[in-house]
Amino acid sequence: MRLEKSTLKDNETINISGSKSISNRLLILSALFENLTIENLSNSQDTQLLQKALESEGEIIDIHHAGTAMRFLTSYLSIQEGRTTVLTGSDRMKQRPIQYLVDALRNLGADISYLEKEGFPPLKIVGKKLEKRAVSIPADISSQFISSLMLIGSKLENGLEINLVGKITSRPYLEMTLKVLRNVGIANQWEDQIITIFPNIQSDKSSQITKCITESDWSSASYFYSLAAIGRKSINLKSFRPHSLQGDSVIKEIYWDFFGVNTISQGSESKISLMPESTFVFPELISLDMNDCPDIAQTLCVTATALKTPFEITGLSTLKVKETDRLVALKNELFKIGCISEITEESIYSTKFFEPNEITSIETYDDHRMAMSFAPFCLIKALTIENKNVVEKSYPQFWEDFDIVTKTIL
Ligand SMILES: O=C(O)C1=C[C@@H](OP(=O)(O)O)[C@@H](O)[C@H](O)C1
Ligand SMILES: C=C(OP(=O)(O)O)C(=O)O
């Protein structure tokens, strides 16, 4: 899709749907426990795929490219006694690791086998009762493995104790899982490297309906922070709360510290305004560890490039195993918009910017976040985004919302 050179309109309001991560957790919990109702569920394709998978009684579930759903369903299906399911996904899903989760579930007694390559989907899962109550798992590849175990923990007879081995990646997602569990009444604790999920004790409370209202998606909000930072005009978003369960809400602090975009809470309907400071002095170097918030790294790199601010971002080892190798994709496409970067296994660094003459198409590598993070660059120069529909994975109405806040310069 061609994005002509644009400016920002002032003060438009965008209504972003529920957090994909919170929605996916709540869907698993509502399949495990009755009487849970969810409001403002994410309208992302990933969440819809998970919802359909949980409703299906079929022998084969194809979860396409939805990584979190793949990981959460692996544990969920492992405890569905008497059911055998083949859990598969897209070609990329068959390259995304799952071995540590499968090993942990097998150690608890699960019956899971690999149907193609050892360590990767597709999986054959024979559901059964898991007898053990303690397990160890390396924590440096994906927090989704650990959240997946946490979500089923209270359904095991004696609960579950998870020993996290090594460096913990994407930590706020684990905190989110603990808080979501607590909100629906499942007790838990996290001390040092040990997470404990207590068994669900049936009580009168279990017959009460628990209503969960999902806060809007902060990762999706990041693209509007980028627009506000580059376009220097304010944008309003809803519905966001002051104390978020989502680690990506750190975008507020990051865009204030490095780009002078202030987040002002407007009270009504949990509306926030992103207001750029007109006199802000940009830093000489953005130096940041984004291990806690990997999904907004692409957004930040494009904003920094548009504003020609050198950056050094570390903590990104997991980007290599997401929808694409995001570090390689970033390096290639940033070059097209005038940024020469260097990447390592876990970082991206740039101090060299140049004026691109003619911008060729931005490739999106089947990665929704490549499309959405590069789009705001049209405030600097016209560009083309390939395969615009990739955004559906997390934010189906992205282009409509993008159109509301931008105005093409003819
Ligand atoms: O638990 C979750 O909802 C997620 C955890 C993160 O993955 P990793 O833990 O694999 O980094 C994040 O990148 C993903 O988009 C969603
Ligand atoms: C990495 C992501 O999703 P998943 O791992 O669920 O495919 C994402 O949404 O950026």
- Is 2-17+216-408 a domain of CATH 3.65.10.10? yes
pLDDT per residue, tens digit, the chain (410 aa), is 999 999 999 999 999 999 999 999 999 999 999 889 999 999 999 999 999 999 999 999 999 999 999 999 999 999 999 999 999 999 999 999 999 999 999 999 999 999 999 999 999 999 999 999 999 999 999 999 999 999 999 999 999 999 999 999 999 999 999 999 999 999 999 999 999 999 987 655 555 668 899 999 999 999 999 999 999 999 999 989 878 999 999 999 999 999 999 999 987 678 999 999 999 999 999 999 999 999 999 999 999 999 999 999 999 999 999 999 999 999 999 999 999 999 999 999 999 999 998 888 999 999 999 999 999 999 999 999 999 999 999 999 999 999 999 998 76
From ligand 2's centre to the CA of 29, what distance in Å?
Answer: 19
State the Cα–Cα distance between residues 403 and 4, nearest whole angstrom: 11
Q: What SS3 state is found at 191?
A: strand
Q: What's the pLDDT at 359?
A: 80
Q: What's the pLDDT at 162?
A: 98
Q: What's the pLDDT at 208?
A: 65
**From the candidates 46, 103, 292, 295, which is the catalytic residue?**
295
**Run of H or E including 104:** helix 99-108
From ligand 2's centre to the CA of 264, what distance in Å?
Answer: 28
Judged by its nearest atom, the ligand closest to the C-alpha of residue 70 is: 2
Q: Which atom of ligand 2 is nearest to the CA of 66?
A: 7
Q: Which atom of ligand 2 is nearest to the CA of 68?
A: 6
Query: Residue ranges of the domains in the chain?
Result: 2-17+216-408, 20-213
State the Cα–Cα distance between residues 145 and 105, nearest whole angstrom: 10
Q: Which strand ranges, in their side-by-side order, compose the sheet holding 339-343? A: 286-289, 311-314, 348-353, 339-343
From ligand 1's centre to the CA of 143, what distance in Å?
Answer: 6
Q: Which residues, at least 6 apart from 214, have a Cβ–Cβ distance to it below 8 Å?
A: 18, 19, 22, 23, 26, 38, 39, 40, 41, 42
Q: Is residue 322 in contact with ligand 2, taking CB distance under 6 Å? A: yes
Q: DSSP characters for 53-68?
A: HHH---SEEE-TT-HH
Q: Which two tokens stand for residue 162?
A: 């998870």
Number of H helices, E strands in the chain: 12, 22
From ligand 1's centre to the CA of 172, what distance in Å?
Answer: 9
Q: Is residue 66 in contact with ligand 2, taking CB distance under 6 Å? A: yes
From ligand 1's centre to the CA of 144, what distance in Å?
Answer: 6
Q: Does the annotation count 325 as an active-site position?
A: no
Give yes or no on whether 2-17+216-408 and 20-213 have one common fold.
yes
Q: Is residue 47 in contact with ligand 1, taking CB distance under 6 Å? A: no
- Whole-model pTM: value is 0.97
Give me the CATH code for the 20-213 domain, please.
3.65.10.10
Judged by its nearest atom, the ligand closest to the C-alpha of residue 368 is: 2
Q: What's the pLDDT at 267?
A: 77
State the Cα–Cα distance between residues 274 and 245, nearest whole angstrom: 20
Q: Which atom of ligand 2 is nearest to the CA of 69?
A: 6
Q: Is residue 219 in contact with ligand 1, taking CB distance under 6 Å? A: no
Q: What's the pLDDT at 143?
A: 98
Question: One-letter amino acid identity for 132?
Answer: K
State the Cα–Cα distance between residues 402 and 221, nearest whole angstrom: 11
Does residue 376 have a cis peptide bond before it, meaning omega lies within 30 degrees of 0?
A: no
Q: What's the pLDDT at 220?
A: 98
Q: What's the pLDDT at 111?
A: 98
State the Cα–Cα distance between residues 101 and 147, nearest whole angstrom: 10
